[in-house]
Structure formats: structure tokens, C-alpha cells
Amino acid sequence: MKITVHGGKDMARALEAWPVPEACDELTIDAPQARRFTNCLLNSPINCRVTVVPTENDAVSYAGLFSGCRLLQHQPVVDVSKCINMAAFFKECREARFNLYQFRQTANVRDMRQCLMGCVNLAGNGLQEWDFSGLSSEDAMRNFAHGTTFRTECYDGLIKNLFRQAKVGTLPTPMHAVDFGSARYSPLVSEKRQFLIDYGWDIKDGGRVHIDLSDTEKGYSKSVDDAIKAHGDQWLSAIDCSPVAKSSRNGTLVTPRHTIHVSHYAPHIGHVVRFWRGETATVTAVARHPSSDLCIATLDRDMDIRPAKLLPRSWRNELPNSDGPPTRYPAGSAPPLILFSDGNSSQPPGLMDLSFVAASTSTGVPQYCSGGARAMYPPSIQVGDSGSSVCFLDGDRLVLAWPLQSGGGTGPWLANHLDWIDEASEYRREDNDK
């Protein structure tokens, strides 16, 4: 059911505690002449898509617009470019799991007190793009996100954003009691955070994130460092790279006759796969995963190449802080992963950091993301396209973590899809792990 509410010049508390019909899945508030939406939906049990028609005025107040909407999980559509007041905008929206990027045009906002206060389950991204230059008083950020938890990835981005604005002098100062809840920042932004404090911002948060590596991570990762230290610029000579394809859109041999790829760049039947050491084979069939962005290609012959190993099922349980804030590591100290870029690139294999662990909002699956190439090593680069192989090392043996799927270094964790891989390839996993 779609409901449209038509309003006049003042929508303050117009729908306070409104008993929204259970069948309503979309609400439009059509009041373009209104100058105030203060507490418009205060304490409403609403949980559907809410669209506010853009104002025709030069300035509008959205203070408390969604305050107390504890059940709201759907992405609201609100043009805040003319907004001058966002105080308590999402206050106590406990289930707010939507993206904040849409609300980034905040240059005219003068007051953001308690804007995200009590959004305990906030999972969205985008706060890194907000403009804080219009804040008009020393208390304009008081208790901004008290009781809320941002992921470390998002909080780091917010600190960097504030730092950029402070450096060019557009960030108002001083600012009292800027509460970012229990968000924890990484060592990568420690100096920028301190700069903001020295600049005049009284920042309150959960402190610096704890850094640790599981034993599994240490074991897989140490081989990369050992190879680099032992062989210098020729460290790849100590690694068996043969299962990695260097043909268009890449792929990795996971059985003697099967390569794994991302499904959106699936090889076509008849495609010639060229492996790292020069061997070739032709694709004869492709099996697509029913729900994940994965596919397996069958080759026309068994390859005389050791397939890459795959992460064991237990790997997910070894991830640090997989159920809490993501973990970041100081620049240059994180154990590297090997990234084999797609065959369209002339670059050699590069290195990725184990920079942080992020839980996918759609699947709940932890994923590593890259925070930058390892500049401390000569061959360190970060290039690649979908399908590029992201690998750990176990001795001199490649262990495929995932085929690169999208920006930021993420991909589908193969450890969660071993049953499908075995079924699609009709292969016994224990044979692959020898």
C-alpha cells in the first residue's frame, strides 16, 4: 500500500506517533511549502520507505524528522540541500541500517545535535562525505551519535573527512562534546584524530581499535614475508604461481581440470585459458553458482599443474573481530596477500594488506578489504579487475581466498562455498589439499 500525506506550511509533529497501517510499504509526505518538519514522525512505529517531497523554500528544518522511529530500517528519501537544522534527525532510530551517503549535502546545516544519537544498529556508509562547514555554534555537534556504533572503516573515513575540512579551514571550531558513541578508530588515523582535537574538537569515542592476528592468519601470511625477505625482488621465484591464469578476466585452477572465476566475467565456451607458466587449455563448460558471483569452468584436459589450495571451512572462525568492529593494521605492518591482476595488465603480481575485516550487510560473511599496496616492497602494486586471484601462502603453495569481485579488494569467500565447488567439479577436496 502506498500512502501520500498532503500538508501545508508547517508539518511540525504532524504525524507524531502516527499508527501507520501495517500494509503500508511506501509513505510520501507532500508538503513542498512547509518550512518546518520538526518531529514530524516523532515516535512513529513506521518501517517503510519514506519520501519527503523537496521544499520550495530557501530553508527548511528537518529537526527530529525521524526521531523515535525505532523500527525504521528502510532508506528514507529526503533532499537536505536546503536544510538548516538536522538536530535529532534520526535520534533513537535503533534499527537504522541504511546508507547515509544520500544526506551528504549538508553545507547549509547549522545544527546537528543528537543527529544520530541512539542509532545503536547503524550499519550504513556515507557519513564520510558529509559537509560540516555550516555549523553555527560551539554546541552544534553535542551528542551527535551518543550510544551509536560505527564500523571502524566508516569511522576512519569520517575522521579523514573532518581532517580535510579542518586543514582547509572550513570546519568550524571550537566544538564541544562531539560524541561518536563507541566507534573505534584505527592507528591509520590516530594523528588526524589528534589534529582535530588540537584544532578544538572535543571528540568522544570508543578509543583505538585493538589489533591482533589469529594463528591461522599468522601461519598463512608469514610465508609471504619470509619469501620476500629471502628472495628480495625475485620473491615470486619461491612461489608456485602456476595455477593462476593470465588470460582475460583471470581465473585460478582449483582442480586439475577446473578453474574458478567471478560469474559476471565468466569465460565463454571455447575460451583459451593461459596459465602463469605458459600452459594453455580450452573451456568446454561453465557452471554458475545459484546465488553467489562465482562460476567454475571445465577445461578440455587435466593440467600438469598443482591446483591452488582453498581456505578450509574453519577459516571464518579464525577471523579477528568478525562479530565486532573491523580490524585495521598500521600502514606497512599488516601481513600481505598476493594479488594476481587480470591478463589485460602488464603489471607483475602485487601485494595487498590485510587491512580490516568487514561483515557484508547482505550475507553477514566477513571479507578482507585492502587498505593500500605494500610500498615497503619493490614489487608492491595494487592493480586488478574482477576475477583477479587473491591468495595466501602456505609454504610455497598458493591458497586461493577469493576471486576479486569488486572495488576495495573484496570477493566471495570460497571457504563458504566448498560444497558447491566440489559438486560442480565432481572433485574430492582432500585430493586438492595434498
Residue type, 269: I
Fold of 215-432: Thrombin, subunit H (2.40.10)
DSSP H or E stretch at residue 430:
helix 429-432
User: 430 falls in which pLDDT band (50, 70, 90)?
Assistant: low
Q: How far apart are alpha carbons 243 and 247 in whole angstroms? A: 12
* Terminal C-alpha separation, the chain: 58
pLDDT at 334 over 90: no
User: What was the pLDDT predicted at 351?
Assistant: 73
User: 169 falls in which pLDDT band (50, 70, 90)?
Assistant: very high
Domain definitions of the chain by residue range: 215-432
Residue pair 268/283 in contact by the 8 Å Cβ criterion: yes
pLDDT at 32 over 70: yes
Cell of 14: 504532524
- Residues 63-90: pLDDT tens digits? 999 999 999 999 999 999 999 999 999 9
pLDDT at 113 over 60: yes
User: What was the pLDDT predicted at 366?
Assistant: 45
Q: How far apart are alpha carbons 236 and 23 in whole angstroms? A: 60
User: What was the pLDDT predicted at 378?
Assistant: 54
Mean pLDDT on 401-429 = 76
User: 140 falls in which pLDDT band (50, 70, 90)?
Assistant: very high
Does residue 218 or residue 164 have the better pLDDT? 164
Full-model pTM: 0.66
User: What was the pLDDT predicted at 83?
Assistant: 97
Cα 13-41-130 angle, rounded to 5 deg: 110
